[in-house]
Amino acid sequence: MDHFLYKDGALHAEDVPVSEIAAAVGTPFYLYSTATLLRHYALFDEALEGTDHLVCYAMKAAGNQAILKTLAQAGAGMDVVSVGEYLRARAAGVPGDKIVFSGVGKTTEEMRTALEGGIRQFNVESEPELEALNAVALSLGKVAPITIRVNPDVDARTHAKIATGKSENKFGIPIARAREVYALAGRMQGIEIVGIDVHIGSQLTDLAPFEQAYRLVAELTETLRADGHDIRRLDLGGGLGIPYTRSNQAPPLPLEYGAMIKRTLGHLGCEIEIEPGRLIAGNAGIMVSRVIYLKSGEGRDFLIVDGAMNDLIRPAMYDAHHDIVPVLEPEAGVEQRPYDIVGPVCESGDTFARQRDLPPLAAGDLIAFRSAGAYGAVMASEYNARPLIPEVLVKGDQFAVIRPRPTFDEMINRDTIPGWL
Ligand code: LLP
């Protein structure tokens, strides 16, 4: 459930008409709902009730400071994958001991910043990384808390570009080699083993692959404990999928996911960490755009809109589906017609949807791309010299611009000219 609903014939974000925001900030823009963000966070928190746990929001999904602050104030920890994300989380008020540092290529500078600033744990993905972290910790006179990310070689049954838990993926160390690497870590003076980490992919719509991976983690916990390691924390990654369409069968709910976690891992007495990103932010955000032209082609009608692939790249990159709805509620029973919805960028890949049935639309009409809150704004670029689009946050009947649209001069003047020109 989200808070983007029609009221009195117009799409609202919570209690604010979307058209009112469009008039104030111009199009296109991203629009987030505070109530939806908080509700999704709470669903996970409640799903793990009764178990020692921390929900670490995977802020790569949507990392605006206002979004981070909203979740941090509700008690969320954060999963970060770069020092930039680490510093953003800290700036939003997240204490170091609620931040986990994931990522396959942490540099020694990143390790140093996090160790000095405070960190809950590093999720280490390789032996060279372990050696580097040990050296950095020793040089600072500190001990780095770690888990090791194991790759369980399970098929997440999701899009190939976002599956991470198969042996051919670059992530983690093969679970079969875990004992060896834990033994190595156990001998390092700058390293303290606190647990195990696993993340098998994103947009999973079935609990079975998670359960398969978590069963292997349960077995590994017992093995490593028998080897003398103090495994007290299990980081289970993110990845629970969201409904991108109203028509499809919905993925499992956080409550069912939590119940499966308790069933599979509860007997171990470990603290549980999860790293959801998409489920918290995805349906808490939309991208609002305006139709520039209706162009009738041979046998098809193109709706050319002012949002483009540089603003929301998921359809071009993953063939992702985003529901598209008019901001003005269509009248009941109005006949729909198929449109190709495209942006102005000079590539055929700048296509959001082909032959999508929508109520009749015309130049000037506002539309909303639903489920755009996760991996939308954060993956945007300035391709075609299109400035990054603004982000707006709604809370009840209030809204605020949380990232303004840059002026063209600001965009141009970020470049610097060498003396010889
Ligand atoms: N933890 C780790 C270590 C991850 O790599 C990811 C996502 C997450 C947590 C959060 O997963 P989520 O709960 O959001 O599924 N840009 C792609 C998704 C990339 C996901 C990368 N890792 C997309 O737009 O679908």
Q: Is residue 78 part of a domain?
A: no
Residue with tokens 């109520």: 359
Q: Is residue 123 part of a domain?
A: yes
Distance 327 CA to ligand 1 centre (A): 29
Residues 270, 287, single domain; the answer is: no
Distance 227 CA to ligand 1 centre (A): 32
Query: Which residues participate in catalysis according to the annotation?
Result: 346
Tokens read off for 112: 């140093």
Domain's final residue, options 233, 250, 274: 274
Ligand 1 binding pocket includes 273 (Cβ within 6 Å) = no
Q: Is residue 178 part of a domain?
A: yes
Ligand 1 binding pocket includes 58 (Cβ within 6 Å) = yes
Ligand 1 atom with the smallest distance to the CA of 379 is 16
Residues 267, 297, single domain; the answer is: no
Ligand 1 binding pocket includes 202 (Cβ within 6 Å) = yes
Q: Please give the pLDDT value at position 158.
A: 84
Residues 262, 117, single domain; the answer is: yes
Residues 269, 287, single domain; the answer is: no
Q: Please give the pLDDT value at position 298.
A: 84
- pLDDT string in tens for the chain (421-residue length): 689 999 999 999 999 999 999 999 999 999 999 999 999 999 999 999 999 999 999 999 999 999 999 999 999 999 999 999 999 999 999 999 999 999 999 999 999 999 999 999 999 999 999 999 999 999 999 999 999 999 999 988 888 887 787 777 889 999 999 999 999 999 999 999 999 999 999 999 999 999 999 999 999 999 999 999 999 999 999 999 999 997 667 899 999 999 999 999 999 999 999 999 999 999 999 999 999 999 997 889 999 999 999 999 999 999 999 999 999 999 999 999 999 999 999 999 999 999 999 999 999 999 999 999 999 999 999 999 999 999 999 999 999 999 999 999 999 999 999 999 9
Mutate to test the pocket of ligand 1, among 37, 44, 60 (most ligand atoms within 8 A of CB): 60
Ligand 1 binding pocket includes 102 (Cβ within 6 Å) = yes
CATH of the domain at 169: 3.20.20.10
Scored b (16 or more CB within 10 A) or e, 210-249 reads bbbbbebbbebbeebeeeebebebbbbbbbbbbbbeeeee
Ligand 1 binding pocket includes 278 (Cβ within 6 Å) = yes
How many C-alpha atoms does 307 have within 13 Å on its Cβ side?
Answer: 33
Ligand 1 binding pocket includes 61 (Cβ within 6 Å) = yes
Ligand 1 binding pocket includes 238 (Cβ within 6 Å) = yes
Residues 266, 298, single domain; the answer is: no
Q: Please give the pLDDT value at position 58.
A: 98
Q: Is residue 12 part of a domain?
A: yes
Residues 251, 308, single domain; the answer is: no
Q: Is residue 202 part of a domain?
A: yes
Distance 244 CA to ligand 1 centre (A): 15
Count of structural domains within the chain: 2
Residues 236, 286, single domain; the answer is: no
Q: Is residue 98 part of a domain?
A: no
* Alpha-carbon gap, residue 150 to 174, rounded angstroms: 6
Residues 200, 174, single domain; the answer is: yes
Residue 328 DSSP class: B
Ligand 1 atom with the smallest distance to the CA of 277 is 14
Instruction: Report pTM.
Output: 0.97
* Alpha-carbon gap, residue 234 to 268, rounded angstroms: 10
Residues 109, 126, single domain; the answer is: yes
Mutate to test the pocket of ligand 1, among 148, 278, 321 (most ligand atoms within 8 A of CB): 278
Domain's final residue, options 245, 274, 303: 274
Distance 201 CA to ligand 1 centre (A): 7
Mutate to test the pocket of ligand 1, among 43, 197, 202 (most ligand atoms within 8 A of CB): 202
3-state secondary structure of 63: coil
Ligand 1 binding pocket includes 162 (Cβ within 6 Å) = yes
Q: Please give the pLDDT value at position 249.
A: 73
Q: Please give the pLDDT value at position 161.
A: 82
Q: Is residue 366 part of a domain?
A: yes
Residues 107, 177, single domain; the answer is: yes
Q: Atom 22 (ligand 1): residue with closest C-alpha? A: 202
Domain's final residue, options 228, 245, 274: 274
Q: Is residue 70 part of a domain?
A: no
Residues 260, 198, single domain; the answer is: yes
Q: Please give the pLDDT value at position 159.
A: 83
Output the CA–CA distances (angstroms, integers) from residue 221 to 24, 103, 146, 212, 249, in the order listed: 54, 22, 15, 14, 34
User: What is the domain extent for residue 327?
Assistant: 4-31+282-412
Q: Please give the pLDDT value at position 166.
A: 78
Dihedral over Cα of 91, 95, 100, 106: its sign: positive
Residues 107, 206, single domain; the answer is: yes
